[in-house]
Amino acid sequence: MSLLPNGTALQTGTVDFTSLGQLGAMNTKKPYSISTYPISADVADLTLFPYGGFVVLDTDKGVKLPASGDTRVQGAISYSNASIMNYPQGIVKGDFVANPTIPVCELGEIVVKVKAGETISVGDKVYLYYGSGITDADYNSLSTSATTAIDISSQVRVAHNSVGGKVAINFVSYAK
* CA dihedral sign, ordered 57, 122, 22, 117: positive
Give the three-class secondary structure for 154: coil
Domain tally, the chain: 1
Give the three-class secondary structure for 19: helix
10 lies in a domain?
no
The enclosing domain of 49 has a CATH number of 2.40.300
Whether pTM exceeds 0.85: no
4 lies in a domain?
no
| Pair 55, 76: CB distance under 8 Å | yes
For residue 32, give its domain range: 18-171
- 97-103: long-range contacts at Cβ-Cβ below 8 A with a sequence spacing of 24 or more? 99/38, 99/39, 100/39, 101/36, 101/37, 101/38, 101/39, 102/36, 102/37, 102/38, 102/39, 102/49, 102/55, 102/63, 102/77, 103/34, 103/35, 103/36, 103/77, 103/78, 103/79
pLDDT in tens, the chain (176 residues): 444 455 454 455 555 555 557 888 888 888 889 899 999 999 999 899 999 999 999 999 999 999 988 988 999 999 764 555 657 788 888 877 777 889 999 999 999 999 999 999 999 999 999 988 888 999 999 999 999 999 999 999 999 999 889 999 999 865 45
2 lies in a domain?
no
